[in-house]
């Protein structure tokens, strides 16, 4: 297919295939550095080799904000200053070439690097080239694994790793993934790390029962087969469990923050302790060797924010190595060395053993019988939602940066950028950020950073939309549509609505706008009239917006937007005045609502949901739904004093309290494009702190439950953990399913773990799992799937039942360090945070359920961006635009479209179905890269690893099992084929048309 007109592409290929043609693209020039595996210290084959790994764990925000941590501000909260750590470590590394240090969090390293002189930068490059300073993990942060979405994780890893590659070349590429602190480990993370080219993965936390068993069986190292769809070893990752979390062995902490005795080695002085230190050390080393397979063990010499005065650590480590190794002349068979995780990994690899295979994940994590870290799956639900829509917004922003070209960054609306939001999102992936386990002021800082990123993106988006549409009318953003607040639509008599769709297929999407009129005329981009409906704003909404808007009605209409493009609708007021009489409250809930796909019935007595039918497949299940709260443990309990807190979920009793037995708080709307008015509505009253609107849209295969929870009352001095529970006639036999980081599904079985014999000690909390985008229960006939709009925790405690935790308000700290009860309040909600969100319910036969829930979840993750312009649009305005030449096949998701360099664009294509999940879609698909974009000519293409820090053809990973299968020659370089669950990453060389 490469015709002569594409010569630039041929040139590009030559350049990228540097290894073949000798262009020094990826090799670092000049003297050949000895970083990576080549820089490891020699070990002694016949001895027990102890790898000392000096390290610091620098949280990208937790008790202090990321910037406070960097500078060492607010040391009254926690003594920690990352700039001093890096200053001090570099200084100490220079003093002795044997010393090693690893650095992990690129968010901090980047801040520090920018402030260094050229001299210092060259010195650090030298240390990196010699393997004395080694980057490990290397993402912008060490992401949380339970509450993150894979697309945001890939982005943050890409950003950190790109900085390292740009700055240090191949010696800056980490070989090891390092998640020493996250509170449980997701299979999708392991799969991503494998595809990012990591040779191995180490972590610190796993269930205490699992650890005990693994220690006895010497199974603390394994091969994690992290995908059921991808062909091994594509998602295989060697995984090791660290011996002591990530701390040094007891008695060997020599940081300024520790109190362990230094090595006092002058026999003329008091308290000479070398013999004692050596004896204790040998004892610990021998003990540790008993629970690992090889004659290599690792000791993590460091902890949170340590090495601010690195001299303390290194001076003692130098001595420790010297004195312990001196014993070898007396017959000791222990050899201690400065090492790094990759040097340790290399030795495990050389051992040439067969490692056990692991197929499930490491959730939930319990550190003792009543201490399940399953609360943070839901903690800070508003921040979790803000993070998720920020991801949607960032993807749109990046796409529009590519589609708009240079004018997006400097156009009629000023200077905009996607960089600010990229960084804010990357920081938000940290394991104390979106996880909700940070202090309140730090959570505020994450949100503020995201908001600042939005502002920068808004300028960019305005520039691009103005350039694409040819109209520079000021563009208005309404970020509070979820609570029916938008000053423009509330007041304007004539405005236009631009709907940008970031997906690679057209979407049909219901838009609800706050208005004060009672009738509007709406026309689409072609001038065709669009059906609409005006319904009153619910009392719950009026209450939650707290004077931030005064719309009495909502204007509802269905919009269509083309793939990777926008469509513009114009709206004009026809009739002012009070709410129309037909929308006034009716006394009873409707008995049923239906559209062409679903029928929902309600119990006439209680008004609660009573059944759900799929009209296409003619299946019906009994289904009810209601809200309950668990009484959070205050620690006053005979079994354990553990309290429920930001991390830990521990209900005082396993039976939750019902909030209301009737549907007083349910409002049911049926949106019907034919009759154009709400058919029926329950009485317009609501429970003081929980309410719900049930919506069935004309074009939707899902029933929407919009819940609003809060302020959670605590006047009774009881902490509360609020759930929505579905109870159905589905015979789920103790099994339910949750997604892993929004991608593959995992089976969960009540009171059971696939890899060990569980002794269950917390019947509720011990059966909770992270839900990132969906969960389902099923039997032979029926599958009920719930798509969530953010990460939440949930479980299936009874057969046929599925519960999802929505909100938590707690009165005690759970003693895992954060030091605050999770009791969210703000200026707007001084009596407690109010949270609103949506669950989308669908019912299908199990064999075709994915065909509904995959696209549904995707529309929630990447939702359209709605912007407004006031008044009449100029007639020359381009009302519709698509950045794609054609719709992509339904199995293909356009995961990333992002400007890389001036003429290059990073593209990720994803097959979004699992193998054998869908008859129709779980098939290989092909995409032609040249026929992708409508505004860009694609001149060249080169494939990269998932994190875009390595060319695919240079990607060689340590082989733990069998050789990498060679990819069959593509029929054409432009035709890209994707197998189920595959993500392929490309750098495209492009030219704006
Ligand atoms: C890594 O960085 C070097 C320059 O330091 C560059 O030549 C190379 O192309 C980069 N690799 C990738 C995969 O971006
Ligand atoms: C690894 O072990 C296998 C036997 O399991 C053996 O055939 C092979 O030669 C060994 N490789 C090395 C490098 O020692
Ligand atoms: Zn941490």
CATH no. for residue 80? 3.20.110.10
Is 275 near ligand 1, meaning CB less than 6 Å away?
A: no
Closest ligand 1 atom to 162 CA: 14
Is 922 near ligand 1, meaning CB less than 6 Å away?
A: no
Active site residue 531: no
Pairing of strands 690-696, 666-670: parallel
Whether residues 808 and 921 share a domain: the answer is: no
pLDDT for 543 equals 87
Whether residues 830 and 908 share a domain: the answer is: no
Distance 337 CA to ligand 2 centre (A): 26
Q: Considering every ligand atom, which ligand is closest to the CA of 141? A: 3
Distance 57 CA to ligand 3 centre (A): 6
Q: Considering every ligand atom, which ligand is closest to the CA of 961? A: 2
**What is the residue with the minimal CA distance to atom 1 of ligand 1?**
165
| Ligand 3 is an ion; residues with CB less than 5 A from it | 59, 181
CATH no. for residue 987? 2.60.40.1360
Whether residues 911 and 833 share a domain: the answer is: no
Domain count of the chain?
A: 3
Last residue of a domain, which of 362, 391, 413?
362
Instruction: For tokens 């044997």, name the residue.
Output: 98
> In the chain, how many H helices and how many E strands?
18, 47
pLDDT for 12 equals 36
Is 950 near ligand 1, meaning CB less than 6 Å away?
A: yes
Whether residues 785 and 909 share a domain: the answer is: no
pLDDT for 32 equals 63
Is 391 near ligand 1, meaning CB less than 6 Å away?
A: no
Q: Is 305 contained in some domain?
A: yes
pLDDT for 681 equals 39
Of 433-442, 512-521, 602-611, minimum mean pLDDT range: 602-611
Cα 386 to Cα 388: distance, rounded to the nearest angstrom: 5
What phi, psi does 79 have (nearest 5°)? -75, 110
Of 22-31, 413-422, 425-434, 475-484, minimum mean pLDDT range: 22-31
Is 476 near ligand 1, meaning CB less than 6 Å away?
A: no
Cα 497 to Cα 500: distance, rounded to the nearest angstrom: 10
430, 141 Cβ separation under 8 angstroms: yes
pLDDT for 677 equals 30
Q: Is 706 helix (H, G, I), strand (E, B) or coil?
A: strand
Whether residues 787 and 930 share a domain: the answer is: no
Q: Is 400 helix (H, G, I), strand (E, B) or coil?
A: helix
Q: Is 270 contained in some domain?
A: yes
Q: Is 876 contained in some domain?
A: no
Whether residues 715 and 824 share a domain: the answer is: yes
822-863 confidence digits (pLDDT tens):
999 999 999 999 999 999 999 999 999 999 999 999 999 999
Whether residues 722 and 807 share a domain: the answer is: yes
Q: Above pLDDT 90, what percent of the chain?
A: 85
Please state the rounded mean pLDDT for residues 519-536.
94
Which among 181, 199, 207, 799 is annotated as catalytic?
A: 181
Closest ligand 1 atom to 168 CA: 5
Give just the sign of the alpha carbon dihedral 845, 848, 854, 859. negative
Please state the rounded mean pLDDT for residues 258-264.
98
Whether residues 212 and 87 share a domain: the answer is: yes
Supply 724's token pair. 């929505």
Cα 689 to Cα 948: distance, rounded to the nearest angstrom: 47
Whether residues 777 and 919 share a domain: the answer is: no
Q: Considering every ligand atom, which ligand is closest to the CA of 433? A: 3
Q: Considering every ligand atom, which ligand is closest to the CA of 906? A: 1
Ligand 1 site-directed mutation target among 14, 27, 169, most atoms within 8 Å of CB: 169
Inter-CA distances, 66 with 85, 541, 586, 826, Å? 14, 35, 52, 21
Q: What angle do CA 980, 151, 241 make, to 5 degrees?
A: 85
Is 182 near ligand 1, meaning CB less than 6 Å away?
A: no
Q: How far is CA 702 from the centre of its chain?
A: 24
Please state the rounded mean pLDDT for residues 441-464.
98
Distance 966 CA to ligand 3 centre (A): 38
pLDDT for 551 equals 95
Inter-CA distances, 292 with 51, 241, 278, Å? 13, 10, 21
Is 482 near ligand 1, meaning CB less than 6 Å away?
A: no
Is 728 near ligand 1, meaning CB less than 6 Å away?
A: no
Supply 320's token pair. 């420790």
Closest ligand 1 atom to 951 CA: 13
Is 842 near ligand 1, meaning CB less than 6 Å away?
A: no
Q: Is 202 helix (H, G, I), strand (E, B) or coil?
A: strand
312-362 confidence digits (pLDDT tens):
999 999 999 999 999 999 999 999 999 999 999 999 999 999 999 999 999
pLDDT for 880 equals 98
Check whether 660 has a pLDDT greater than 90: no
Whether residues 818 and 902 share a domain: the answer is: no
Q: What is the dihedral of CA 512, 418, 186, 954, to 10 degrees?
A: 140
Residues 6+ away with beta carbon under 8 Å from 341:
53, 102, 136, 176, 178, 200, 202, 298
In the chain, what is the straight-line distance between the N-terminal and C-terminal CA atoms, in Å? 20
Nearest to 504 by CA among 27, 932, 34: 932
pLDDT for 346 equals 98
Ranges assigned E (strand) in 255-404: 296-301, 334-338, 357-358, 366-368, 371-372
Instruction: Count CA within 13 A, CB hemisphere, residue 60.
Output: 32
Mean pLDDT of the chain: 92
Last residue of a domain, which of 315, 335, 362?
362
Inter-CA distances, 723 with 792, 808, 901, Å? 10, 9, 46
Q: What is the dihedral of CA 884, 885, 891, 897, to 10 degrees?
A: -30
Q: Is 228 contained in some domain?
A: yes
Instruction: Count CA within 13 A, CB hemisphere, residue 762.
Output: 29
Cα 532 to Cα 629: distance, rounded to the nearest angstrom: 38
Is 947 near ligand 1, meaning CB less than 6 Å away?
A: no
pLDDT for 668 equals 56
Distance 353 CA to ligand 2 centre (A): 8
**What is the residue with the minimal CA distance to atom 5 of ligand 1?**
169
Distance 173 CA to ligand 2 centre (A): 28
Distance 352 CA to ligand 2 centre (A): 6
Provide the 8-state DSSP code for 846: G
Q: Is 761 contained in some domain?
A: yes
Of 30-44, 470-484, 485-499, 868-882, minimum mean pLDDT range: 30-44
Is 951 near ligand 1, meaning CB less than 6 Å away?
A: yes
What phi, psi does 218 have (nearest 5°)? 55, 50
Closest ligand 1 atom to 944 CA: 13
Closest ligand 1 atom to 950 CA: 13
Check whether 84 has a pLDDT greater than 90: yes
100-145 confidence digits (pLDDT tens):
999 999 999 999 999 999 999 999 999 999 999 999 999 999 999 9
Nearest to 901 by CA among 27, 12, 107: 12
Is 25 near ligand 1, meaning CB less than 6 Å away?
A: yes
Whether residues 257 and 348 share a domain: the answer is: yes
Of 32-41, 486-495, 957-966, minimum mean pLDDT range: 957-966
Check whether 963 has a pLDDT greater than 50: no
Give just the sign of the alpha carbon dihedral 738, 508, 839, 386. positive
**What is the residue with the minimal CA distance to atom 8 of ligand 1?**
26
Q: Is 572 contained in some domain?
A: no
**What is the residue with the minimal CA distance to atom 3 of ligand 1?**
169
532-589 confidence digits (pLDDT tens):
988 888 878 888 999 899 999 999 999 999 999 999 999 999 987 665 544 444 445 5
Last residue of a domain, which of 846, 861, 876?
861
Q: Is 525 contained in some domain?
A: no
Q: Is 115 contained in some domain?
A: yes
Pairing of strands 414-415, 410-411: antiparallel
Supply 647's token pair. 């991390």
pLDDT for 30 equals 47
Q: Considering every ligand atom, which ligand is closest to the CA of 960? A: 2
Inter-CA distances, 286 with 46, 52, 253, 291, 292, Å? 14, 15, 19, 9, 10
Check whether 664 has a pLDDT greater than 70: no
Is 930 near ligand 1, meaning CB less than 6 Å away?
A: no
- DSSP H helices, 373-499, are 381-404, 419-428, 440-469, 487-491
596-654 confidence digits (pLDDT tens):
999 999 888 888 899 999 999 999 999 999 999 999 999 988 889 999 999 999 999 99
Whether residues 624 and 693 share a domain: the answer is: yes
Domain extent for 929: 892-992
**What is the residue with the minimal CA distance to atom 14 of ligand 1?**
949
CATH no. for residue 632? 2.70.98.30
């Amino acid at each position: 297919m490469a015709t002569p007109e594409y010569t630039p592409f041929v040139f590009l290929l030559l350049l990228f295939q540097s290894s073949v043609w000798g262009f020094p693209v990826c090799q670092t020039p000049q003297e050949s550095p000895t970083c990576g595996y080549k820089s490891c210290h020699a070990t002694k084959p016949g001895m027990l080799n102890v790898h000392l790994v000096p390290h610091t764990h620098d949280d990208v925000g937790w008790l202090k904000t990321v910037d406070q941590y960097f500078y060492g501000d607010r040391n009254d909260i926690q003594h920690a200053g990352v700039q001093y750590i890096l200053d001090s470590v570099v200084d100490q590394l220079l003093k002795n070439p044997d010393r090693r240090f690893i650095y992990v969090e690129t968010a901090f390293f980047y801040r520090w690097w920018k402030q260094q002189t050229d001299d210092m930068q060259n010195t650090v490059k030298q240390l990196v080239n010699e393997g004395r300073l080694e980057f490990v993990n290397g993402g912008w942060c060490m992401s949380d694994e339970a509450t993150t979405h894979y697309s945001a994780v890939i982005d943050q890893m890409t950003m950190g790793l790109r900085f390292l590659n740009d700055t240090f070349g191949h010696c800056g590429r980490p070989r090891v993934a390092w998640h020493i602190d996250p509170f449980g480990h997701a299979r999708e993370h392991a799969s991503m790390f494998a595809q990012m080219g990591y040779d191995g993965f180490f972590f610190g936390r796993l269930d205490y029962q699992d650890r005990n068993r693994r220690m006895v069986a010497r199974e603390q190292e394994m091969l994690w087969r992290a995908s059921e769809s991808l062909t091994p070893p594509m998602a295989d990752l060697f995984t090791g469990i660290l011996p002591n979390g990530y701390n040094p062995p007891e008695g060997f902490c020599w940081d300024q923050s520790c109190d362990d005795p230094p090595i006092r080695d002058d026999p003329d002085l008091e308290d000479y302790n070398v013999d004692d230190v050596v004896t204790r050390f040998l004892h610990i080393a021998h003990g540790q060797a008993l629970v690992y397979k090889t004659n290599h063990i690792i000791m993590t010499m460091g902890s949170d924010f340590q090495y601010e005065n690195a001299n303390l650590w290194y001076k003692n480590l130098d001595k420790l190595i010297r004195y312990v190794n001196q014993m070898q002349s007396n017959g000791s068979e222990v050899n201690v060395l400065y090492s790094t995780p990759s040097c340790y990994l290399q030795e495990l690899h050389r051992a040439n053993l067969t490692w056990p295979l692991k197929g499930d994940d490491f959730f939930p994590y319990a550190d003792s019988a009543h201490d399940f870290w399953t609360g943070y799956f839901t903690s800070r639900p508003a921040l979790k939602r803000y993070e998720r829509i920020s991801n949607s917004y960032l993807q749109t922003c990046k796409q529009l940066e590519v589609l708009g070209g240079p004018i997006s960054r400097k156009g009629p609306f000023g200077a905009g950028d996607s960089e600010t939001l990229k960084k804010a999102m990357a920081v938000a992936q940290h394991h104390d950020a979106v996880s909700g386990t940070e202090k309140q002021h730090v959570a505020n800082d994450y949100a503020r950073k995201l908001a600042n990123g939005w502002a920068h993106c808004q300028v960019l988006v305005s520039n691009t939309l103005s350039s694409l549409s040819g109209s520079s009318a000021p563009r208005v953003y309404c970020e509070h549509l979820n609570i029916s607040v938008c000053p423009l639509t509330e007041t304007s008599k004539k405005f236009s609505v631009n709907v940008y769709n970031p997906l690679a297929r057209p979407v049909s999407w219901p838009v609800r706008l706050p208005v004060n009129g009672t009738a509007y005329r709406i026309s689409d981009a072609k001038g065709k009239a669009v059906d609409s409906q005006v319904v009153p704003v619910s009392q719950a909404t009026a209450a939650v917006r707290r004077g931030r808007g005064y719309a009495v009605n909502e204007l509802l209409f269905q919009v269509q937007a083309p793939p990777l493009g926008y469509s513009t609708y114009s709206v004009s007021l026809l009739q002012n005045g009070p709410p129309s009489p037909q929308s006034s409250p009716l006394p009873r809930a409707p008995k049923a609502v239906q559209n062409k796909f679903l029928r929902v019935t309600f119990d006439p007595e209680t008004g609660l949901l009573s059944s759900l039918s799929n009209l296409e497949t003619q299946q019906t299940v009994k289904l009810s739904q209601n809200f309950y709260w668990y009484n959070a443990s205050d620690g006053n309990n005979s079994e354990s004093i553990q309290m429920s807190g930001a991390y830990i979920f521990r209900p005082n009793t396993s039976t939750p309290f019902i909030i209301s037995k009737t549907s007083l708080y349910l409002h049911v709307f049926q949106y019907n494009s034919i009759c154009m008015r709400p058919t029926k509505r329950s009485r317009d009253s609501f429970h003081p702190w929980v309410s719900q609107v049930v919506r069935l849209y004309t074009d939707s295969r899902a029933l929407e439950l919009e819940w609003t929870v809060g302020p959670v009352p605590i006047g009774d001095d009881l902490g509360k953990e609020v759930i929505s529970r579905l109870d159905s006639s589905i015979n789920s036999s103790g099994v339910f399913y949750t997604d892993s980081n929004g991608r593959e599904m995992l089976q969960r079985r009540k009171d059971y773990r696939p890899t060990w014999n569980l002794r269950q000690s917390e019947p509720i909390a011990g059966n909770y799992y992270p839900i990132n985008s969906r969960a389902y229960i099923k039997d032979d006939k029926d599958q009920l799937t719930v798509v969530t709009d953010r990460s939440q925790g949930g479980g299936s405690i009874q057969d046929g039942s599925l519960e999802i935790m929505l909100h938590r308000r707690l009165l005690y700290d759970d003693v895992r360090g954060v030091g605050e009860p999770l009791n969210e309040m703000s200026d707007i909600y001084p009596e407690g945070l109010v949270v609103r969100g949506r669950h989308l319910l669908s019912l299908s036969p199990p064999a075709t359920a994915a065909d509904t829930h995959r696209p549904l979840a995707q529309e929630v993750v990447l939702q359209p961006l709605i912007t407004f312009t006031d008044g009449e649009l100029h007639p020359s305005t381009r009302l519709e635009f698509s950045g794609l030449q054609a719709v992509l096949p339904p199995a293909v998701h356009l995961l990333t479209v992002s400007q890389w360099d001036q003429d290059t664009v990073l593209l990720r294509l994803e097959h979004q179905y699992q193998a054998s999940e869908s008859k129709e879609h779980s098939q290989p698909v092909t995409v032609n890269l040249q026929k992708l974009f409508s505004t860009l000519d694609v001149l060249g293409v080169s494939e990269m690893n998932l994190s875009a820090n390595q060319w695919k053809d240079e990607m060689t990973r340590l082989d733990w099992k069998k050789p990498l299968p060679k990819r069959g020659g593509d029929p054409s370089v432009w035709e890209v084929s994707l197998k189920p669950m595959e993500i392929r990453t490309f750098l495209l060389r492009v030219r704006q048309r």
